[in-house]
C-alpha cells in the first residue's frame, strides 16, 4: 500500500502528540479513580467510627434520647429514628433534610444532594437500647462538598497537564525530527554538489547514523556506476576523436601540400581548395558533435579565471564589427562593470554562436546588443536582436542538437549552435533562456551563478 507522501515531520509530531495525550489521559483517569476511591474509603472509615461511637452512646443514653436529649458527637450530622420510623432526635442540619428511606441492612452509603447543591454521603445503621432491644435506625451524614471541589480541581489540573503534555510532545517531536532528519538534509546537500564534473565525490558513510548507512552506501554505489559509465564514454570519445581526426588530418595535409605545390594549375588549386573547405567544415562538425557528446569535454577541469565581462563583450563585438557593418546592423554592448570566474574560451564560443545567429536573422537597419548585468547570486549575459524572431512552438526545442526552425539552410547551419550554447551554460553551472517574438526579435540569456 502506498502511503501518501506527506511531511515526515508532521506525521512524527502528530504521532508524538497523540501518544502523549493518550498516555497522560489514561494516567489522569487512573489517578482520578484512585483519588476518588481513597477519599471514599477514608470517608467510610470516618463514618464507621462515628457510627460506632453513636451506637455506643445510644445504647447507654437511649432514655435521654427519648426525653429529647442530644448526644454530642462533634463534626457529625445525625438522625435517630425509633422502631416506627419516627424521628426521635437529630442534629440541626439533619432537620433540613427530608425523611430518609431506611435502606436494607449493610447497604453502602448513599449520596444525597440538598436543595442548595451540597452533596452528602449518608449511612444507616440499626441501633439497640441498653437492654439489647432494637431501638430503630440511626442515620449519619457527612458533607462531601469539599471533596467534590477537590476532585473537580484535581481533574482540571489533570486536564491541563494532559494538554501541556501533548504540546510538549509536539515540540519535542519537532526537535527530534529536525535532529533526526538533519543527516538526510546533509545527504541531500552533499549529493547536490555532485555533478558530471565531480563524479569522483562520495558521501562518507561514517558520518551518518547507522539507519542511513544503507542509503549512503546505495547512493555511493550508484555514483560509482555513473562514474564508471562516464569514464567509459570519455575513453570512447577520446578514441572516437582520434579515429575521426587522424584520417581527416591525413586528407587535409595531402590536399594542402598539393594545393601549395608549385606548378599546379588555377583550376586544380580551386578544386583542392574546395575540398580543403569541406575538410574544415567536417572538422568543425566533428568538434561540435564531440563537444555535445561530452567526448571532447574534460571531465574535471574547467579554467576558472576571472573574466572582465565588459571586456569580453567588447572583444566579441570587435570580432563581428565588420560583419555587422557590412550587414547594416548596429552592434552594441550594454555592460555594467563586472567579472565572472569562468572559462574564457567557453564563454567566447557561446557568445560567438549567439551573435552569429543574431546577425544571420537580423535584417538591414536592425540592431544586435550584447549585454551583461549582475543579479542576486548570478551573472546574466545576453544577446538581443531585432530580427525575425522564433515561433513560440520552437523555443522549447532549441538547444537540442540538430533542431532548428525550417528555413533555407544557411551555410554550416546544422542547428548545433544553440545546443552548444546551452551545453556551455550548463558546464558553467548555469542555464540558457530564450525570449522571442516573431517579427520583433529574440533575446537569449545565459544565467551563470556566481561561485
Hey, which residues between 352 and 391 contact other proteins (CB under 8 A)? 352, 356
Check residue 218 for interaction with other proteins (CB under 8 A): no
Check residue 257 for interaction with other proteins (CB under 8 A): yes
- Residue choice 301, 364, 406, 439 for contact with other proteins (CB under 8 A): 301
**15 or 260: CB nearest other proteins:** 260
- Residue choice 34, 150, 185, 303 for contact with other proteins (CB under 8 A): 303
Q: What track of x and - describes contact with other proteins for positions 400 through 439 (by CB under 8 A)? A: -----------xx---------------------------
Check residue 35 for interaction with other proteins (CB under 8 A): no
Check residue 276 for interaction with other proteins (CB under 8 A): yes
**C-alpha grid cell for residue 306?**
576571472
Check residue 351 for interaction with other proteins (CB under 8 A): no
- Residue choice 49, 69, 134, 318 for contact with other proteins (CB under 8 A): 318
**C-alpha grid cell for residue 352?**
560567438
Check residue 279 for interaction with other proteins (CB under 8 A): yes
Check residue 298 for interaction with other proteins (CB under 8 A): yes
Check residue 308 for interaction with other proteins (CB under 8 A): no
**174 or 197: CB nearest other proteins:** 197
CB of 248 to other proteins, least distance (A): 5
From the list 22-30, 72-80, 254-262, 367-375, the region that binds other proteins by CB under 8 A is 254-262
Q: Which residues bind other proteins (CB under 8 A)?
A: 238, 241-242, 245-246, 248-257, 259-261, 269-270, 272-277, 279-280, 283-284, 287-288, 290, 296-298, 300-303, 315, 318-323, 326, 343, 345-346, 348-349, 352, 356, 411-412
Amino acid at each position: 500500500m502506498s502511503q501518501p507522501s506527506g511531511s515526515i515531520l508532521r506525521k512524527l509530531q502528530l504521532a508524538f502528540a497523540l501518544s502523549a495525550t493518550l498516555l497522560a489521559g489514561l494516567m489522569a483517569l487512573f489517578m482520578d479513580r484512585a483519588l476518588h476511591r481513597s477519599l471514599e474509603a477514608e470517608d467510610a472509615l470516618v463514618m464507621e467510627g462515628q457510627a460506632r461511637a453513636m451506637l455506643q452512646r445510644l445504647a447507654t443514653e437511649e432514655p435521654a434520647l427519648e426525653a429529647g436529649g442530644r448526644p454530642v458527637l462533634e463534626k457529625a450530622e445525625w438522625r435517630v429514628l425509633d422502631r416506627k420510623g419516627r424521628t426521635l432526635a437529630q442534629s440541626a442540619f439533619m432537620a433540613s433534610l427530608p425523611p430518609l428511606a431506611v435502606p436494607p441492612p449493610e447497604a453502602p452509603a448513599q449520596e444525597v444532594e440538598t436543595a442548595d447543591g451540597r452533596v452528602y454521603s449518608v449511612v444507616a445503621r440499626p441501633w439497640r437500647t441498653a437492654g439489647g432491644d432494637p431501638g430503630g435506625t440511626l442515620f449519619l451524614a457527612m458533607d462531601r462538598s469539599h471533596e467534590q471541589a477537590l476532585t473537580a480541581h484535581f481533574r482540571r489540573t489533570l486536564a491541563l497537564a494532559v494538554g501541556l503534555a501533548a504540546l510538549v510532545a509536539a515540540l519535542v517531536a519537532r526537535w527530534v525530527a529536525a535532529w533526526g532528519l538533519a543527516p538526510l538534509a546533509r545527504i541531500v546537500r552533499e549529493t547536490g554538489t555532485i555533478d558530471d564534473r565531480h563524479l569522483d565525490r562520495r558521501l562518507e558513510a561514517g558520518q551518518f547514523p547507522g539507519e542511513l548507512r544503507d542509503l549512503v552506501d546505495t547512493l555511493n554505489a550508484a555514483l560509482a556506476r555513473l562514474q564508471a559509465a562516464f569514464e567509459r564514454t570519455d575513453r570512447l570519445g577520446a578514441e572516437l576523436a582520434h579515429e575521426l581526426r587522424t584520417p581527416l588530418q591525413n586528407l587535409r595535409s595531402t590536399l594542402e601540400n598539393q594545393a601549395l605545390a608549385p606548378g599546379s594549375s588555377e583550376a586544380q588549386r580551386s578544386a583542392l581548395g574546395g575540398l580543403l573547405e569541406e575538410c574544415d567544415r567536417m572538422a568543425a562538425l566533428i568538434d561540435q558533435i564531440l563537444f555535445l557528446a561530452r567526448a571532447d569535454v574534460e571531465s574535471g577541469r574547467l579554467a576558472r579565471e576571472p573574466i572582465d565581462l565588459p571586456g569580453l563583450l567588447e572583444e566579441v563585438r570587435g570580432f563581428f564589427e565588420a560583419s555587422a557593418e557590412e550587414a547594416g546592423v548596429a552592434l552594441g554592448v550594454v555592460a555594467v562593470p563586472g567579472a565572472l570566474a569562468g572559462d574564457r574560451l567557453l564563454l567566447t564560443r557561446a557568445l560567438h554562436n549567439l551573435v552569429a545567429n543574431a546577425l544571420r536573422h537580423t535584417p538591414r537597419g536592425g540592431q544586435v546588443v550584447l549585454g551583461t548585468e549582475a543579479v542576486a547570486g548570478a551573472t546574466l549575459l545576453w544577446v538581443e536582436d531585432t530580427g525575425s524572431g522564433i515561433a513560440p512552438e520552437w523555443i522549447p526545442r532549441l538547444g537540442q542538437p540538430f533542431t532548428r526552425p525550417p528555413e533555407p539552410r544557411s551555410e554550416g547551419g546544422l542547428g548545433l549552435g544553440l545546443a552548444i550554447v546551452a551545453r556551455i551554460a550548463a558546464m558553467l553551472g548555469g542555464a540558457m533562456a530564450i525570449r522571442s517574438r516573431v517579427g520583433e526579435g529574440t533575446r537569449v540569456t545565459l544565467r551563470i551563478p556566481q561561485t
